[in-house]
Amino acid sequence: MKKRISNIHVFMLLLGLLVLAACGTSTNDEENATSGDAGTTDNAPAEGTNDEAAEEKPVLRIGTDAAFAPFEYMETGEMVGFDVDLLAAVMEEAGYEYELEDAGWDPLFAYLQSEDLDLGVSAITITEERLESYDFSAPYFQSTHMIVFNEGGSITSANDLEGIKIGVQTGTTGEEAAEKIVGENNENISKYDTTAVAFLALANGDIEAVVTDNVVAAEYVKNNPNAGVEAITDEENFESEYYGYMFPKGSEIVDEISAALTTVIENGTYNEIYQEWFGNEAEIDKLLEAAQE
Ligand code: ARG
C-alpha cells in the first residue's frame, strides 16, 4: 500500500517536473527572441565548449632554482623573489594555474628536456646554445655579470680573474663569462651547484671571487654588510644578456605565455613588481625593443 502511494507520488513528481521543464523551455525561447544576450548564452554550444576548454587547461609544472636572490629564494620556508611575483602576474594573465617547484639548476634543464616540467623560470639567460635545445619567451630582464670579492682585493677588471681562485655556479652564463677570461675548465675555477653556495665558499675563504649575474652580486653585497665584500662589473669583458622563460623545444604554450608576459610588461604590472623589488623604474621601452630583435 505504502509502496503504491509512493509510486503515485513519484509519477506526479515526474509529471510536475515535465510541466516545469516545458514552461522553462518556452520562457527561455521567449527570452531568446527578445534578448540577444540570453540567446547567446543559451544557444551557443561553441561558447560552452570554450569554457570547458578553459577549465581543462593543465596545471603547469614550473621549475626554478630558488637560491638566487632577489629573483628566487627561500624566506622562512616560502619561495619569494621578483621572478616569483612576476610569474604569478603572467599566469593570472594567461589564465593558468601552476605549481612552482624548487627543482635545482641542473635538474631544471633535464626536467624540461624530458618534459617533466612545462616551463623554467629562474633568471635564465636566453643564449644561442640553449635555443638549440629549448624554446624561450620574450626577454623580461636585462643582465650582465659582476665579480664579487673581498674588500681591498686588487680586482679592477675581469682580467684580474687570471691567477686567482674563482667560484661560479655550474652551467650558468657566469661560468662561461669566467671561462672566457681564464680558459675553459681552468683549475682555478670551482663550480658549485648554487650561487648561494659559491658565496659561502667566498665567505669561508675557499675562493677569492664569485662571478655571477650583476643584480644577484649587488644584492649579496648589500645584504651582507659584515661580509666585507665588494663587487665590480666590466663592460668590456662582460656582455649584456636577457632572461626569458624556458620551455621544452616545440612546447605548444610558448606563444601564449610569451604574449601574457608581454601584456604584463606593457600594462604596467611589470613595472609595479619591478619597483617593489628594485626600487626604481623599469626600462620598459628597452625591454620591448629587445623583444623585437
Ligand atoms: N642568468 C644565469 C644563467 O642563465 C644564471 C641564472 C641562475 N639562476 C638561478 N636561479 N640559479 O645562466
Instruction: For residue 181, give its domain range.
Output: 145-233
pLDDT digits (tens, 9 = 90+) for 87-136: 999 999 999 999 999 999 999 999 999 999 999 999 999 999 999 999 99
Q: How high is the pLDDT of residue 293?
A: 83
Same domain, 133 and 245: yes
pLDDT digits (tens, 9 = 90+) for 183-233: 999 999 999 999 999 999 999 999 999 999 999 999 999 999 999 999 999
Q: Which numbered atom of ligand 1 lies nearest the CA of 72?
A: 10
Same domain, 245 and 225: no
Q: How high is the pLDDT of residue 130?
A: 98
CA 126, 130, 135 angle in degrees (round to 5)? 75
C-alpha to C-alpha distance for 282 and 264, rounded to whole angstroms? 13
Residue from 64, 87, 100, 105 to probe ligand 1 pocket by mutation (most atoms less than 8 Å from CB): 105
- In angstroms, what is the span from residue 24 Cα to ligand 1's centroid? 60
Query: How much is the average pLDDT of 139-154?
Result: 95
Same domain, 187 and 261: no
Per the structure block, which three cell numbers stand in for 259? 604574449
pLDDT > 50? residue 45 = no
In a domain, residue 6? The reply is: no
Question: Which residues, other chains included, contact 37 with Cβ-Cβ below 8 Å and sequence gap of 6+?
Answer: none
Q: How confident is the model at residue 55 (pLDDT cuts 50, 70, 90)?
A: low
Same domain, 189 and 259: no
Bigger pLDDT: 26 vs 291: 291
